[in-house]
Amino acid sequence: MSIDATPTTPTPRTAVVTGGSRGIGRRVATRLAADGYAVVVNYASNSTEAEAAVREVEAAGGQAIAVRADVADENAISALFDTAEQTYGGVDVVVNAAGRMPLAPLADLDLDVLDALYRTNIRGTFVVNQQAVRRLRPGGAIINLSSSVVGLAFPGYSAYAATKGAVEAMTLVLARELRGRDVTVNVVAPGPTVTDLFLQANDEKRVAQLAAQPPLERLGTPSDIAEVVAFLAGPAGHWVNGQVLRANGGII
Protein backbone atom coordinates (compact mmCIF):
# COMPACT_ATOMS: atom_id res chain seq x y z
CA MET A 1 0.00 0.00 0.00
CA SER A 2 1.44 3.36 -1.00
CA ILE A 3 0.80 6.53 0.94
CA ASP A 4 0.90 9.90 -0.77
CA ALA A 5 2.89 12.05 1.63
CA THR A 6 2.52 15.20 -0.45
CA PRO A 7 1.13 17.88 1.88
CA THR A 8 -2.08 19.54 0.82
CA THR A 9 -2.96 23.16 1.50
CA PRO A 10 -6.68 23.56 2.18
CA THR A 11 -8.46 26.36 0.36
CA PRO A 12 -9.21 29.10 2.90
CA ARG A 13 -12.75 30.17 3.56
CA THR A 14 -13.12 33.46 1.75
CA ALA A 15 -15.24 36.53 2.45
CA VAL A 16 -16.08 39.38 0.10
CA VAL A 17 -16.87 42.60 1.99
CA THR A 18 -18.25 45.48 -0.05
CA GLY A 19 -17.64 48.90 1.38
CA GLY A 20 -14.77 47.28 3.23
CA SER A 21 -12.35 50.20 3.27
CA ARG A 22 -13.99 52.22 6.04
CA GLY A 23 -16.57 52.19 8.80
CA ILE A 24 -18.56 49.07 9.57
CA GLY A 25 -17.32 47.31 6.43
CA ARG A 26 -13.68 47.71 7.42
CA ARG A 27 -14.27 46.39 10.92
CA VAL A 28 -16.18 43.45 9.46
CA ALA A 29 -13.23 42.70 7.18
CA THR A 30 -10.73 42.63 10.03
CA ARG A 31 -13.09 40.66 12.27
CA LEU A 32 -13.67 37.95 9.66
CA ALA A 33 -9.93 37.80 9.01
CA ALA A 34 -9.46 37.11 12.71
CA ASP A 35 -11.73 34.08 12.27
CA GLY A 36 -9.44 32.79 9.54
CA TYR A 37 -11.19 34.10 6.42
CA ALA A 38 -9.22 35.38 3.47
CA VAL A 39 -10.87 38.73 2.78
CA VAL A 40 -11.56 40.60 -0.43
CA VAL A 41 -11.92 44.26 0.54
CA ASN A 42 -14.11 46.00 -2.00
CA TYR A 43 -14.01 49.77 -2.28
CA ALA A 44 -15.50 52.41 -4.56
CA SER A 45 -12.81 55.10 -4.75
CA ASN A 46 -10.58 55.44 -1.68
CA SER A 47 -7.65 53.18 -2.49
CA THR A 48 -5.60 54.58 0.38
CA GLU A 49 -8.13 53.41 2.99
CA ALA A 50 -8.64 50.09 1.21
CA GLU A 51 -4.93 49.32 1.22
CA ALA A 52 -4.76 50.36 4.87
CA ALA A 53 -7.49 47.82 5.61
CA VAL A 54 -5.49 45.13 3.80
CA ARG A 55 -2.36 46.01 5.77
CA GLU A 56 -4.35 45.84 9.01
CA VAL A 57 -5.47 42.31 8.16
CA GLU A 58 -1.97 41.24 7.12
CA ALA A 59 -0.40 42.74 10.24
CA ALA A 60 -2.63 40.45 12.30
CA GLY A 61 -1.49 37.42 10.27
CA GLY A 62 -4.43 37.26 7.85
CA GLN A 63 -4.83 37.32 4.08
CA ALA A 64 -6.54 40.13 2.17
CA ILE A 65 -6.63 41.93 -1.14
CA ALA A 66 -8.34 45.16 -2.16
CA VAL A 67 -10.50 45.27 -5.30
CA ARG A 68 -12.09 48.43 -6.67
CA ALA A 69 -15.62 48.05 -8.06
CA ASP A 70 -18.87 49.99 -8.20
CA VAL A 71 -21.38 47.71 -6.49
CA ALA A 72 -24.08 48.74 -8.95
CA ASP A 73 -21.99 47.75 -11.99
CA GLU A 74 -22.72 44.11 -12.75
CA ASN A 75 -19.61 43.67 -14.90
CA ALA A 76 -17.32 45.13 -12.25
CA ILE A 77 -18.84 42.97 -9.53
CA SER A 78 -18.61 39.86 -11.69
CA ALA A 79 -14.92 40.66 -12.19
CA LEU A 80 -14.51 41.13 -8.43
CA PHE A 81 -15.88 37.65 -7.79
CA ASP A 82 -13.63 36.28 -10.54
CA THR A 83 -10.66 37.79 -8.74
CA ALA A 84 -11.77 36.30 -5.41
CA GLU A 85 -12.07 32.84 -6.97
CA GLN A 86 -8.78 33.08 -8.83
CA THR A 87 -6.94 34.30 -5.73
CA TYR A 88 -8.44 32.15 -3.00
CA GLY A 89 -10.24 29.32 -4.78
CA GLY A 90 -13.84 30.31 -4.09
CA VAL A 91 -16.20 32.48 -2.07
CA ASP A 92 -18.02 31.47 1.12
CA VAL A 93 -19.32 34.67 2.70
CA VAL A 94 -20.53 37.93 1.18
CA VAL A 95 -21.14 40.96 3.37
CA ASN A 96 -22.73 43.88 1.57
CA ALA A 97 -21.81 46.95 3.63
CA ALA A 98 -21.47 49.51 0.81
CA GLY A 99 -23.98 52.31 1.02
CA ARG A 100 -24.85 56.00 0.84
CA MET A 101 -26.78 58.05 3.42
CA PRO A 102 -27.82 61.52 2.23
CA LEU A 103 -30.38 63.02 4.60
CA ALA A 104 -33.10 65.60 3.91
CA PRO A 105 -36.85 65.97 4.37
CA LEU A 106 -38.72 64.21 1.60
CA ALA A 107 -39.96 67.55 0.21
CA ASP A 108 -36.42 68.88 -0.14
CA LEU A 109 -34.36 65.93 -1.39
CA ASP A 110 -32.90 66.47 -4.85
CA LEU A 111 -34.06 63.71 -7.18
CA ASP A 112 -30.59 63.25 -8.64
CA VAL A 113 -29.41 62.48 -5.11
CA LEU A 114 -32.31 60.07 -4.75
CA ASP A 115 -31.34 58.26 -7.95
CA ALA A 116 -27.71 57.91 -6.82
CA LEU A 117 -28.87 56.63 -3.44
CA TYR A 118 -31.11 54.02 -5.01
CA ARG A 119 -28.37 52.97 -7.43
CA THR A 120 -25.93 52.16 -4.64
CA ASN A 121 -28.21 50.93 -1.87
CA ILE A 122 -30.81 48.99 -3.86
CA ARG A 123 -29.30 48.13 -7.23
CA GLY A 124 -25.90 47.62 -5.61
CA THR A 125 -27.31 45.16 -3.09
CA PHE A 126 -29.20 43.35 -5.84
CA VAL A 127 -26.13 43.07 -8.09
CA VAL A 128 -23.85 41.86 -5.28
CA ASN A 129 -26.44 39.34 -4.10
CA GLN A 130 -26.97 38.09 -7.64
CA GLN A 131 -23.29 37.27 -8.00
CA ALA A 132 -23.22 35.77 -4.51
CA VAL A 133 -26.06 33.42 -5.38
CA ARG A 134 -24.21 32.25 -8.46
CA ARG A 135 -20.85 31.78 -6.74
CA LEU A 136 -21.14 30.83 -3.06
CA ARG A 137 -20.05 27.39 -1.95
CA PRO A 138 -22.29 25.23 0.26
CA GLY A 139 -22.21 26.30 3.88
CA GLY A 140 -21.94 29.92 2.86
CA ALA A 141 -23.67 33.07 4.04
CA ILE A 142 -24.94 36.30 2.52
CA ILE A 143 -25.26 39.17 4.99
CA ASN A 144 -26.76 42.47 3.90
CA LEU A 145 -26.62 45.68 5.92
CA SER A 146 -29.85 47.55 6.50
CA SER A 147 -30.65 50.08 9.23
CA SER A 148 -32.85 50.24 12.30
CA VAL A 149 -34.17 53.52 10.92
CA VAL A 150 -36.55 51.41 8.80
CA GLY A 151 -38.57 50.93 11.99
CA LEU A 152 -37.55 54.06 13.89
CA ALA A 153 -38.80 56.40 11.13
CA PHE A 154 -36.58 59.37 11.99
CA PRO A 155 -37.50 62.57 10.11
CA GLY A 156 -35.06 63.28 7.28
CA TYR A 157 -34.42 59.61 6.59
CA SER A 158 -37.28 58.87 4.18
CA ALA A 159 -35.17 58.09 1.11
CA TYR A 160 -32.48 56.21 3.04
CA ALA A 161 -35.04 54.18 4.99
CA ALA A 162 -36.86 53.35 1.76
CA THR A 163 -33.67 51.89 0.28
CA LYS A 164 -33.01 49.84 3.39
CA GLY A 165 -36.60 48.59 3.44
CA ALA A 166 -35.96 47.32 -0.07
CA VAL A 167 -32.78 45.60 1.10
CA GLU A 168 -34.70 43.81 3.83
CA ALA A 169 -37.45 42.73 1.42
CA MET A 170 -35.08 41.27 -1.17
CA THR A 171 -33.04 39.52 1.53
CA LEU A 172 -36.02 37.70 3.00
CA VAL A 173 -37.21 36.60 -0.44
CA LEU A 174 -33.73 35.44 -1.42
CA ALA A 175 -33.42 33.27 1.69
CA ARG A 176 -36.44 31.34 0.49
CA GLU A 177 -35.24 31.17 -3.11
CA LEU A 178 -32.07 29.41 -1.93
CA ARG A 179 -33.90 26.40 -0.52
CA GLY A 180 -31.64 23.35 -0.76
CA ARG A 181 -28.43 25.35 -1.34
CA ASP A 182 -27.11 25.34 2.27
CA VAL A 183 -26.55 29.10 2.01
CA THR A 184 -28.07 31.46 4.59
CA VAL A 185 -29.25 34.99 3.83
CA ASN A 186 -29.75 37.52 6.61
CA VAL A 187 -29.84 41.24 7.34
CA VAL A 188 -28.05 43.09 10.09
CA ALA A 189 -29.76 46.42 10.80
CA PRO A 190 -27.55 48.65 12.95
CA GLY A 191 -28.85 51.50 15.02
CA PRO A 192 -26.91 54.76 15.26
CA THR A 193 -23.26 53.70 14.95
CA VAL A 194 -20.13 55.83 15.20
CA THR A 195 -18.80 55.95 11.65
CA ASP A 196 -17.63 58.82 9.46
CA LEU A 197 -20.85 58.46 7.45
CA PHE A 198 -22.98 58.84 10.58
CA LEU A 199 -20.99 61.74 12.02
CA GLN A 200 -21.05 63.62 8.72
CA ALA A 201 -24.83 63.26 8.49
CA ASN A 202 -25.65 64.43 12.03
CA ASP A 203 -24.68 67.52 14.03
CA GLU A 204 -23.32 67.31 17.58
CA LYS A 205 -26.70 67.88 19.20
CA ARG A 206 -28.34 65.12 17.18
CA VAL A 207 -25.50 62.71 17.95
CA ALA A 208 -25.98 63.34 21.68
CA GLN A 209 -29.74 62.80 21.38
CA LEU A 210 -29.28 59.49 19.59
CA ALA A 211 -26.66 58.30 22.06
CA ALA A 212 -29.13 58.85 24.92
CA GLN A 213 -31.97 56.81 23.40
CA PRO A 214 -30.87 53.16 23.83
CA PRO A 215 -31.18 51.65 27.32
CA LEU A 216 -27.42 51.07 27.12
CA GLU A 217 -27.05 54.87 26.75
CA ARG A 218 -24.39 54.92 24.05
CA LEU A 219 -23.97 54.77 20.32
CA GLY A 220 -23.03 51.54 18.62
CA THR A 221 -19.52 50.93 17.34
CA PRO A 222 -18.38 49.17 14.17
CA SER A 223 -17.07 46.38 16.41
CA ASP A 224 -20.55 45.83 17.85
CA ILE A 225 -21.91 45.26 14.37
CA ALA A 226 -18.93 43.21 13.18
CA GLU A 227 -19.47 40.72 16.01
CA VAL A 228 -23.05 40.10 14.85
CA VAL A 229 -21.88 39.67 11.26
CA ALA A 230 -19.14 37.25 12.33
CA PHE A 231 -21.71 35.16 14.19
CA LEU A 232 -23.96 34.93 11.13
CA ALA A 233 -21.00 34.16 8.87
CA GLY A 234 -19.73 31.29 10.99
CA PRO A 235 -21.00 27.82 11.82
CA ALA A 236 -22.53 28.95 15.14
CA GLY A 237 -24.96 31.20 13.27
CA HIS A 238 -25.78 28.91 10.38
CA TRP A 239 -29.22 27.99 11.73
CA VAL A 240 -30.24 31.66 11.57
CA ASN A 241 -31.71 32.28 8.12
CA GLY A 242 -34.09 34.77 6.54
CA GLN A 243 -33.93 37.11 9.51
CA VAL A 244 -33.47 40.82 10.22
CA LEU A 245 -31.28 41.35 13.30
CA ARG A 246 -31.66 44.87 14.68
CA ALA A 247 -28.33 45.48 16.38
CA ASN A 248 -29.12 48.77 18.08
CA GLY A 249 -28.73 48.46 21.86
CA GLY A 250 -32.49 48.37 22.37
CA ILE A 251 -33.29 51.77 20.86
CA ILE A 252 -37.03 52.34 20.35
Q: pLDDT of 107-138, one tens digit each?
A: 999 999 999 999 999 999 999 999 999 999 99
What's this model's pTM, rounded to 2 decimal places? 0.93
Hey, which residues are catalytic here? 160
Which domains does the chain carry?
14-192+222-245 (3.40.50.720)
Contact 77, 128 (CB under 8 A): yes
Pairing of strands 38-43, 14-18: parallel
Cα–Cα distance, 11 to 179 (Å, whole number) = 25
Give pLDDT, residue 10.
61
Give pLDDT, residue 12.
83
Q: Give the neighbor-by-neighbor strand order of the sheet with 184-188.
A: 64-68, 38-43, 14-18, 93-96, 141-145, 184-188, 244-245
Give the mean pLDDT of the chain: 93
Q: pLDDT of 7-49, one tens digit each?
A: 444 678 999 999 999 999 999 999 999 999 999 999 999 999 9
